[in-house]
């Protein structure tokens, strides 16, 4: 890989430095006195059901609409899953002046209503939709309880949500499965995730089904590998290696 280019007599260093997580922040959130109550409330609400979590901001690149439609297709083609799997979507709205996203918001809300209207049963709604940001401590409680994290951007430079899920599951000794878009930058780093093509509705559906059907031993092995990666490449290592790379550019040029 090219590590330097020269432009008008200047040496410019090139490098790939995917940002790591502040694992201590997640530890503090898990240790928060309110977290056990939040986790218990989630367990009570989704008792007897598999919980799939999706968290992203409102944007055309995040694949939220495609994911919701794929979930509806999964319920249509796999009736045995009805009443047994719930999707929780946290969609952080854009700034009010960003009216370009108004149409997308309407499409997403319509898709959620369509899936819930078609498959809703007494005591079970297929999709629970939050169109607002949640405090990080609440998000961590959802991470800790979710069986699957479904992150499916059409294109994303990195994506830290998937790392946050892995870090949380690793710290609570869980066996959650990460289903991740192959077009997220983190996919190159997080070996052990179930990769999916968000441009292919059938693949979105089938990779989620794969995660739902996965045996516990495989889930645990995949998560251990993912947690080792996230733990190793934490924010301290990222900062240190980035500064070392910056310092090394003049030396290589000399």
Q: Answer whether residue 2 is part of any domain.
A: no
Q: Answer whether residue 7 is part of any domain.
A: no
Give residue 181's pLDDT: 98
Give the residue among 124, 143, 103, 120 at the shortest CA–CA distance from 21: 143
Measured distance between the N- and C-terminal CA atoms of the chain, rounded to whole angstroms:
20
Say which CATH number the domain at 189 has: 3.40.50.2000
Q: What is the CA radius of gyration of the chain?
A: 20
Q: Answer whether residue 56 is part of any domain.
A: yes
Bridge partners of 22, per DSSP, are none
Residues 122-132 have a mean pLDDT of 95
3-state secondary structure of 125: coil
pTM for the full model? 0.92
Residue given tokens 């559906």 in the structure block: 205
Q: Answer whether residue 71 is part of any domain.
A: yes
Q: Answer whether residue 198 is part of any domain.
A: yes
Q: Are the C-beta atoms of 148 and 51 separated by less than 8 Å? A: yes
Q: Which string of DSSP letters, residue by residue, matches 7-29?
A: ETTEEEE---------HHHHHHH
Q: In which domain, by residue range, is 205 found?
A: 33-245
Q: Answer whether residue 15 is part of any domain.
A: no
Query: pLDDT tens-digit profile of 165-212?
Result: 999 999 999 999 999 999 999 999 999 999 999 999 999 999 999 999
Give residue 251's pLDDT: 61
Q: Can you read off the two tokens belonging to residue 228? A: 């080792």
Cβ of 190: how many Cβ atoms within 10 Å? 23
Q: Which H or E run includes 151?
A: strand 148-151
Rounded to the nearest angstrom, the gap between the alpha carbon of residue 3 and the centroid of all alpha carbons in its chain is 30
Count up the domains in the chain and report the number: 1
Q: Residue 135: exposed, middle, or buried by beta-carbon count in 10 A (0-12, 13-18, 19+)?
A: exposed
Residues 6+ apart with CB under 8 A from 149: 52, 53, 54, 143, 161, 162, 165, 166, 176, 177, 178, 179
76 against 98, higher pLDDT? 76
Q: Are the C-beta atoms of 69 and 201 separated by less than 8 Å? A: yes
Give residue 252's pLDDT: 59
- DSSP, res 174: -
Query: pLDDT tens-digit profile of 209-250?
Result: 999 999 999 999 999 999 999 999 999 999 999 998 888 876
Query: pLDDT tens-digit profile of 7-56?
Result: 998 888 888 888 999 999 999 999 999 999 999 999 999 999 999 999 99
């Amino acid at each position: 890989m090219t590590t330097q280019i020269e432009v008008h007599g200047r040496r410019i260093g090139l490098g790939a430095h995917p940002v790591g997580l502040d694992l201590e922040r997640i530890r503090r959130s898990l240790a928060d006195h309110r977290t056990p109550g939040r986790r218990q409330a989630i367990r009570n609400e989704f008792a007897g059901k598999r919980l799939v979590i999706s968290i992203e901001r409102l944007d055309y690149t995040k694949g939220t609409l495609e994911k919701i439609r794929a979930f509806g297709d999964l319920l249509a083609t796999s009736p045995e899953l009805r009443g047994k799997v719930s999707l929780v979507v946290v969609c952080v709205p854009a700034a009010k002046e960003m009216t370009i996203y108004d149409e997308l918001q309407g499409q997403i809300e319509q898709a959620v209503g369509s899936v819930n209207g078609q498959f809703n049963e007494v005591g079970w709604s297929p999709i629970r939709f939050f169109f607002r940001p949640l405090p990080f401590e609440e998000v961590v409680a959802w991470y800790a309880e979710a069986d699957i994290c479904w992150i499916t951007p059409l294109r994303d430079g990195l994506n830290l949500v998937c790392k946050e899920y892995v870090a949380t599951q690793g710290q609570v000794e869980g066996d959650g499965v990460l289903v991740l878009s192959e077009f997220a930058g983190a996919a190159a780093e997080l070996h052990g995730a179930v990769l999916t093509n968000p441009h292919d509705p059938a693949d979105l559906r089938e990779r989620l089904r794969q995660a739902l059907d996965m045996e516990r031993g495989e889930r645990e092995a995949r998560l251990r590998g993912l947690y080792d990666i996230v733990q190793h490449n934490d924010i301290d290592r990222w900062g240190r290696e980035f500064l070392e790379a910056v310092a090394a550019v003049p030396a290589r040029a000399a």
